[in-house]
Structure 1
Amino acid sequence: MPGEAESKYLVSTDWLAEHLGAPGLAIVDASWHLPTANRSGGAEFLERHIPGAVYFDIDAIADNSNNLPHMLPDPVAFSSAVRKLGIGDGMKIVVYDSVGLFSAARVWWMFRAFGVRDVAVLDGGLPKWLAEGRPVAEGEARPQSRHFTARLDHALVASLDDVRAASAKAGVAGAPQLVDARSAPRFRGDELEPRPGLRSGHIPGARNLPWSDLIVEGRLLPPEKLAALFAGAGFDPSKPTITTCGSGVSACIVALAMATTGRSAVPVYDGSWAEWGLRSDLPMAKGPA
């Protein structure tokens, strides 16, 4: 049932407040901002965060040998970083961000991609927590290292080859649907990309579902409204789907939204347009889907 799926992947501020300090609970501040925002998630964490939280930097916990932004690291590197954050095997992980719902979905997906199943996003994030007058802490977190085992779940990660094949077979029965979470002007190619060197347009055969349409006041829409948006974007969430965006962040919001409606195994194209748009040898489309 949609309600059961929703409760599995989202937790309320009431629930988190009741469980602060509980053994086996890891609270993760995943705040990250686009370069154009001139904000630092790490600096803001030091100023205020939910008590007991640790800061997860998606630019640091990444494959830094890759020239693409915040690509998934390998399991060994991910395990090492997460252990230092005090997150261990068997813990329940709750992820939030300072916008309400943006980069938290990316870190939710990263944990799931490395085998964690008991991970959820805080509904409304830090803005809702603050609006309700709940406690905050400041300064650096000092977690105790724990043992964490990471095993990459390839079913949740789409490669360039996967996306190229899906694009070539767009519209063919059984082929994965491509859903692009960027804004409509970026999808159509009407706006320049925020990262230099990228073409403007979209992957041929993709559908457009802007991530911002899925959220109101920092909270994910209820499942029935999400289902209506999926239908309006022209894709069937019950069928194989790959989500994509600018650099693999907002695509995870679509994956989270689909999970709350009962479709949990949705792969994300990690390289997204940062990879595809950089490659002149790959086809590109402009205009509406």
Structure 2
Amino acid sequence: MSNPNLVSTEWLAERLGDPNVIAVDGSWHLPDVGRDGRTEFRERHVPGAVFFDINAIADTSTGLPHMLPSPELFASEVGKLGIGDGMTIVAYDASGLFAAPRVWWTFRAMGVKDVFILDGGLPKWLAESRPTESGAGERAPKTFTARLIAGAAKSADDIASALETGAAQVVDARPAARFRGEAPEPRPGLASGHMPGALNLPASELVKDGRLVDDETARRAFEAAGVDASKPVVTTCGSGVTAAIVALALESAGARAEGLYDGSWAEWGAGGRPVATGPAKA
């Protein structure tokens, strides 16, 4: 696999004692799953790892879930975790590949270049009988500098403009039944369907056994969804988490996402925006 954003379990295991490499557990689960990422982290995590709570390190003033925080808040909270400037960050999650890409995307949006995702996540780490530890994972605070990349997080108006002008392809990572409006949204009060003109590539088609699919499979998935990887792409989903999986996979297809719609369907589907049902229309 040629995706430059992944590191292997072997790579991380060899660097567990390196003070400039830090593992970041970004585990998050949908409310109906009945799992809590922080609780599971305290029970078992990669040695030296810290827990990144996407709901807490967020802009909580909007009423929308895990929105990108201000650079000042992000820098403060990340510094408290013991992550400092110049460190290499390796994000992982307990599902293999679900929420870790959101953590990766967040650090990238804040100007961090040396951030990667652990290929296979915690499941692969455990399957290989690699060491773990328990506890809160506290480390000494460090100084972290955040520089928000302009345009990394797209607004609803940005998406509306892209759809109207064709300036970018909007790729929705939600399951096909939700995109078509045939299945209800897991969050109450949201319309069923999709943004008129959006394309649908369920994130589940890009993940197999907790790992990103191979490069060729990723390319075929984008082509089948009608996505031209040579043209600008903005990703979206239910709340901005699995949209990051699509952004990650784009780099396996030889492209790169131009941005991620942070509010995603949690914002768009709440009312005031046009909604379409049925399959995507070319």
Give the TM interval when normalised to the shorter protein. over 0.9
> The residue matched to 1:60 in structure 2 has which SS?
coil
CA distance in 2, matches of 1:131, 1:288: 39
Matched, 1:48 2:39: no
Once structures 1 and 2 are overlaid, which stretch shifts more, 209-218 or 146-155? 146-155
Matched, 1:236 2:228: yes
Aligned position for 1:180: 172
CA distance in 1, matches of 2:80, 2:251: 29
* Superposed displacement of residue 260, structure 1: 3.1
Matched, 1:29 2:61: no
Matched, 1:109 2:101: no
* Superposed displacement of residue 105, structure 1: 0.4
List runs of 5+ in structure 1 lacking aligned partners: none
Q: Provide TM-score, normalisation by structure 1.
A: 0.95
CA distance in 2, matches of 1:61, 1:216: 28
Matched, 1:206 2:202: no
Runs of 4+ in 1 over 4 A off after TM superposition: none
> The residue matched to 1:260 in structure 2 has which SS?
coil
Aligned mate of 2:184, from 184, 192, 212: 192
Aligned mate of 1:93, from 89, 92, 101: 89
Aligned mate of 1:136, from 123, 132, 136: 132
* Superposed displacement of residue 263, structure 1: 2.3
Aligned mate of 1:283, from 266, 274, 280: 274
Aligned mate of 1:221, from 210, 213, 218: 213
Deviation string for 1:78-133 (max 9, x for gaps)?
A: 00000001111111100000000000000000000000011010000000000011
One-letter amino acid of the structure 1 residue matched with residue 109 of structure 2:
A
CA distance in 2, matches of 1:135, 1:261: 33
Question: How many residue pairs were aligned?
Answer: 280
CA distance in 1, matches of 2:138, 2:266: 34
List runs of 5+ in structure 2 lacking aligned partners: none
Q: Contact conserved, 1:9 with 1:260, CA < 8 A, in 2?
A: no
Q: Contact conserved, 1:52 with 1:141, CA < 8 A, in 2?
A: yes
Of Structure 1 and Structure 2, which has the larger fraction of its residues in helix?
1
Q: Contact conserved, 2:194 with 2:276, CA < 8 A, in 1?
A: yes
Q: Provide TM-score, normalisation by structure 2.
A: 0.97
CA distance in 2, matches of 1:134, 1:141: 17
One-letter amino acid of the structure 1 residue matched with residue 28 of structure 2:
W
Q: CA RMSD in A?
A: 1.0
